[in-house]
Amino acid sequence: MRVLVIEDFAPLARAIVQGLKESGYAVDRAQDGEEGLASAQACAYDVILLDIMLPKLDGLALLQQLRKQKHPAGVLLLTARDTVMDRVTGLDHGADDYLVKPFAFEELLARVRALVRRRYAQRDGVLQIEDLEVNPVSRTVKRAGRPIPLSAREYAVLEYLCARKGHVVTRTEIWDHVYDFATEPSSNVIDVYIGYLRKKIDAEHEMKLIQTRRGQGYVLGTPE
């Protein structure tokens, strides 16, 4: 999943970005409100972590613009303001959640996972398609009860397919949700990782879960 961090305090921003990347997220960072708005408009992020006190354009004004444009990301406000009215104001401007600084990184991760579940209408923490189980908390995968070791990139691709289960997902959509702006595009990298996943998830099973829709993309689910 892809996250945008809009935070002007560099030490905190670097810590959040590093922690999210180590947790398997594709992460971009913006240092002020204008840069953050431009970045958010350029990509359909899954989650945006947004500081309120930003230079050039404050976080609440930025948030209002995103909601007017119907940006799909879940927005988590990060702020030192901790009164009830501050939280109410943030939520009324369109935020999905609110986290007061300082905070534990584990709580930040839990709230990010919750926003991803909400966006993709997942009712619990474990994603399941037939006998395939994907656990976003432990980042583990099982099929028919057997653990399947995946690389970080393989897991990221599979998690996005699981979130969109039953829907055809284009290569561009996978790229947009799995890679950040710092990654150089490659014409066949998505096909390569789909191939890796098929070998690990489908090769030993009669029922193949990763389906190709020629000229469209991929879908995770049982064959039609």
- Phi first, then psi: give them for residue 177, nearest 5 degrees: -100, -5
Res 215: pLDDT: 85
Q: Cα separation of 10 and 74, whole Å?
A: 23
N- to C-terminal Cα separation, the chain: 27
pLDDT by residue for the chain (224 residues), tens only, comes to 899 999 999 999 999 999 998 888 889 999 999 999 999 998 889 999 999 999 999 999 999 999 998 888 899 999 887 778 888 888 888 889 999 988 999 999 999 998 988 877 665 667 888 899 998 878 889 999 999 999 888 998 999 998 888 889 998 888 888 887 777 666 688 889 999 999 999 998 989 999 998 888 899 987 65
